[in-house]
Amino acid sequence: MRMASFEAFACDGCKSLFARSQSRCRRCGAPTVLSITLSGRGTLTSFTTIRVPPTVFQGQEPYDIAVIDLDEGLRVTARLTVAEGREAAIGDPAVFEEMRPYGPVFRLI
């Protein structure tokens, strides 16, 4: 099974996690936000199927956009891959698959 670790960022002061690099912590203002590696494991918190995508994604529809709560506590919005014949449900486990130019891709397991 393919699975990748998820690159994220953590404040050196309050330990808040962020999906994107920060020049200083959005929560406590500390100037040091470090790159960290998370497990890439998480839980499906919500999802929606896009049937009428923005122009840049036309031809990829339908596709699913999900909110994933990573085990370490970081919440990310991601493209969701669901196996043929499978129905996604809130609470399903998901793993990080790869980073694309438009953002992360997770897959239900």
What residues line the site for Zn ion (CB under 5 A)?
A: 11, 13-14, 16, 25, 27-28, 30
**Sign of the dihedral defined by the CA atoms of residues 96, 5, 14, 19, in that order:** negative
Supply the minimum distance, in Å, between the C-beta of residue 16 and Zn ion: 5
Residue whose CB is less far from Zn ion, 16 or 43: 16
- Confirm if 81 and 106 have CB atoms less than 8 A apart: yes
CB of 33 to Zn ion, least distance (A): 8
- Between residues 24 and 86, which has the closer beta carbon with respect to Zn ion? 24
Instruction: Give me 77's structure tokens.
Output: 């919005």
| Residue whose CB is less far from Zn ion, 13 or 53 | 13
Measured from the CB atom, the residue of 17 and 82 that comes closer to Zn ion is 17
Query: Smallest gap, in angstroms, from Cβ of residue 85 to Zn ion?
Result: 44
Decide the pairing of beta strands 75-81 and 103-108. Answer: parallel
In the sheet with 17-18, reading across from the earlier edge strand, the strands are 17-18, 6-11, 33-38
